[in-house]
């Protein structure tokens, strides 16, 4: 399964950060709210809801629950998607009566979008959906999903999603997909959200791509991508109210003279969220922990899943295992001297004037479609560094006169990897083509330079 996402796209398993980053960029574009009544499959939804009322929440693992859910109409695909998501905390939640059946659809032009169910807590929402074409047709195009609050605003967080068009069943006219919304700490989970998506179907055998194309956003102004589908998804907040627990840590370590404080950790049914703080007096700009791990007293590792910026990160949740002890462990951080945290490029002459070190090179500068396209090559010296550095620079820059410009075009930001050279990355981004006073200065957002200090922080 391929995952795409802004916070957070896995190249394949190891490139999660970049996939999440890409998904987040796509998922946070503004859309106008559409007013439209939706058809609801209330009968099926009510029957499913009544059946699950009897499955009382328990902290103990219930291995038979997933089998029960499989027998509920429409939810077999939910269980299959959970098992394929690669998140053991999410699997445990599904095994413990945390699936909320929805069964709500919207239908246009013989295509039906159905939200089968969700799994949610105070910090995370996972949506399971199906797009199905009428008999005799196949899906030719599906947009990137968009998630909105009822007022039309983006959720405060990171949206990632799997790519259902990559699976073998895609040409058959039915796609099952998953959307993962990770809320920032302190953001409130709404009582409902809206899912927007466009899809287009063509008769089987019509010329074109064999598989559907996942593309664009579900924007209001692109009817060529097919009709706009919108589904209102209710969320039962009482199901998870009061389950999250915050552990105060306030433990500081010194890594090569740079202070890092582990502030707190929030353990909820669907994730463990950790807040870090970097001392402003540090002479280095710390851009995140490198090999951080979440482990319990049995040595079970709960995967790092992404983060918000460089000081707020999250992991799979061991909530339903209730470990007696839980630790954060690691040995290095990404950090760069503050006086080297920028690069200077003369885009007229195609010359890299200054970079943090010799591991970053300018490959090409070209002008395409009113944009200046900048291609860099980056050498990764730490074998354990699996970060994709597509977001190498901040989203604004200055020219030689000190004038500030915004923004770096993130829709064209790419970090690519060559399997023959795992330590090499090619980074591409674009800016508007203008008559800049050269050279241009870009501040570094993240960079593969390191400080080292083993640590083990107990959460509980």
- Kindly report, residue by residue over 90-117, the tens digit of the pLDDT: 999 988 889 999 999 999 989 999 999 9
Domain boundary among 239, 272, 301: 239
CA end-to-end span of the chain, whole Å? 34
Domain boundary among 224, 239, 254: 239
Q: Which tops the pLDDT comparison, 160 or 316?
A: 316
Task: Name the band, by pLDDT with cuts 50, 70 and 90, for residue 416.
Answer: low
Q: How high is the pLDDT of residue 339?
A: 95
For 309-356, how does the pLDDT look when each residue is reduced to its tens digit (9 = 90+)? 889 999 999 999 999 999 999 999 999 999 999 999 999 999 999 999
Q: Which tops the pLDDT comparison, 192 or 390?
A: 192
The reply to whether 52 and 30 lie within a common domain is: yes
Q: By residue range, what is the domain housing residue 283?
A: 245-335+452-458
For 119-152, how does the pLDDT look when each residue is reduced to its tens digit (9 = 90+)? 999 999 999 999 998 888 888 788 888 899 988 8
Structural domains in the chain (count): 3
Q: How high is the pLDDT of residue 244?
A: 94
Are the C-beta atoms of 16 and 8 separated by less than 8 Å? yes
Q: Which of 458, 442, 335 is nearest to 397 (CA)?
A: 442
3-state secondary structure of 91: helix
Are the C-beta atoms of 7 and 23 separated by less than 8 Å? yes
The reply to whether 301 and 403 lie within a common domain is: no
- Which residues does residue 286 pair with via DSSP β-bridges, in sequence order? 335
Are the C-beta atoms of 146 and 196 separated by less than 8 Å? yes
- We report the CATH number of the domain holding residue 292 as 2.60.40.1640
Q: How high is the pLDDT of residue 73?
A: 52
Are the C-beta atoms of 264 and 248 separated by less than 8 Å? yes
The reply to whether 87 and 209 lie within a common domain is: yes
The reply to whether 322 and 393 lie within a common domain is: no
Torsion on CA atoms 306, 311, 317, 322, rounded to nearest 10 = 160
The reply to whether 7 and 93 lie within a common domain is: yes
Q: How high is the pLDDT of residue 384?
A: 87
Q: Compute CA 65 distance to the chain's CA centroid, rounded to the nearest angstrom.
A: 28
Are the C-beta atoms of 287 and 445 separated by less than 8 Å? yes
Q: How high is the pLDDT of residue 175?
A: 85
The reply to whether 94 and 229 lie within a common domain is: yes
Q: How high is the pLDDT of residue 414?
A: 52
The reply to whether 135 and 207 lie within a common domain is: yes
Angle among Cα 191, 194, 200 to the nearest 5 degrees reads 160
Domain boundary among 239, 259, 278: 239
Q: Which tops the pLDDT comparison, 352 or 71?
A: 352
Averaged pLDDT of the chain: 79
- Which residues does residue 373 pair with via DSSP β-bridges, in sequence order? 366, 430
Are the C-beta atoms of 129 and 142 separated by less than 8 Å? no
Q: How high is the pLDDT of residue 309?
A: 82
Task: Name the band, by pLDDT with cuts 50, 70 and 90, for residue 58.
Answer: very low
Q: How high is the pLDDT of residue 48?
A: 25
The reply to whether 57 and 8 lie within a common domain is: yes
Q: How high is the pLDDT of residue 60?
A: 30
The reply to whether 298 and 182 lie within a common domain is: no
Angle among Cα 266, 28, 232 to the nearest 5 degrees reads 80
Q: Compute CA 13 distance to the chain's CA centroid, rounded to the nearest angstrom.
A: 14
For 202-232, how does the pLDDT look when each residue is reduced to its tens digit (9 = 90+)? 887 776 556 677 766 655 566 677 889 999 9
The reply to whether 81 and 184 lie within a common domain is: yes
CA distance 377 to 194: 40
The reply to whether 231 and 252 lie within a common domain is: no
For the residues 177-195, what does the mean pLDDT come to? 89
Q: How high is the pLDDT of residue 139?
A: 83
Q: Which helix (H) or strand (E) holds 21?
A: helix 16-27
Q: 238 Cβ partners below 8 Å, 6+ apart?
A: none
Q: How high is the pLDDT of residue 163?
A: 73
The reply to whether 69 and 186 lie within a common domain is: yes
Whether the ω angle into residue 338 lies within 30 degrees of 0, i.e. cis, is no
Helices (H) and strands (E) in the chain, counts: 5, 30
Are the C-beta atoms of 80 and 198 separated by less than 8 Å? no
Q: Which helix (H) or strand (E) holds 176?
A: strand 174-183
């Amino acid at each position: 399964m391929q995952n795409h996402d802004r916070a957070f796209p896995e190249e394949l398993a190891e490139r999660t950060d970049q996939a999440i980053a890409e998904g987040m960029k796509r998922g946070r574009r503004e859309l106008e709210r559409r007013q439209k009544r939706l058809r609801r499959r209330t009968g099926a939804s009510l029957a499913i809801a009544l059946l699950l009322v009897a499955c009382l929440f328990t902290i103990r693992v219930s291995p038979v629950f997933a089998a029960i859910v499989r027998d509920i109409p429409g939810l077999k695909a939910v269980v299959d998607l959970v098992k394929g998501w690669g998140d053991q905390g999410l699997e445990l939640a599904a095994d413990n009566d945390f699936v909320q059946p929805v069964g709500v659809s919207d239908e246009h032009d013989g295509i039906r979008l159905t939200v089968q169910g969700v799994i949610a807590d105070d910090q995370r929402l996972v949506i399971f959906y199906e797009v199905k074409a009428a008999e005799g047709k196949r899906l030719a195009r599906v947009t990137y999903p968009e998630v909105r609050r009822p007022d039309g605003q983006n959720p405060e967080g990171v949206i990632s999603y799997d790519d259902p068009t990559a699976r073998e069943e895609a040409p058959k006219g039915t796609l099952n997909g998953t959307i993962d919304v990770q809320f920032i700490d302190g953001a409130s989970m709404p009582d409902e959200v809206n899912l927007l998506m466009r899809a287009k179907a063509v008769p089987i055998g019509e010329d074109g791509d064999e598989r559907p194309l996942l593309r664009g956003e579900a924007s209001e102004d692109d009817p060529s991508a097919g009709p706009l589908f919108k589904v209102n998804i209710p969320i039962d907040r009482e199901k998870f109210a009061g389950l999250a627990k915050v552990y105060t840590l306030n433990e500081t370590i010194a890594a090569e003279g740079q202070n890092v404080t582990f502030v707190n950790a929030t353990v909820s049914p669907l994730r463990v969220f950790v807040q870090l703080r970097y001392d402003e007096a540090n002479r280095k700009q710390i851009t995140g922990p490198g090999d951080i791990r979440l482990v319990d007293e049995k040595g079970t590792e709960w995967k790092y899943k992404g983060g918000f910026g460089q000081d707020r990160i999250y992991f799979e949740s061991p909530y339903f295992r209730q470990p007696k002890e839980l630790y954060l462990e690691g040995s290095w951080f990404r950090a760069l001297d503050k006086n080297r945290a920028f690069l200077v490029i003369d885009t007229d002459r195609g010359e890299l004037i200054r970079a943090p070190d010799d591991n970053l090179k300018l490959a090409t500068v070209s002008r395409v479609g009113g944009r200046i396209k900048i291609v860099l090559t980056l050498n990764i010296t730490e074998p354990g560094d699996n970060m994709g550095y597509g977001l190498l620079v901040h989203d604004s820059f200055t020219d030689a006169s000190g004038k500030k410009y915004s923004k770096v075009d993130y829709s064209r930001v790419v970090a690519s990897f060559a399997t023959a050279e795992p330590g090499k990355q090619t980074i591409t981004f674009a800016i508007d083509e203008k008559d800049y006073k050269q050279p241009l200065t870009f501040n570094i957002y993240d960079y593969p330079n390191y400080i080292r200090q083993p640590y083990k922080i107990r959460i509980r």
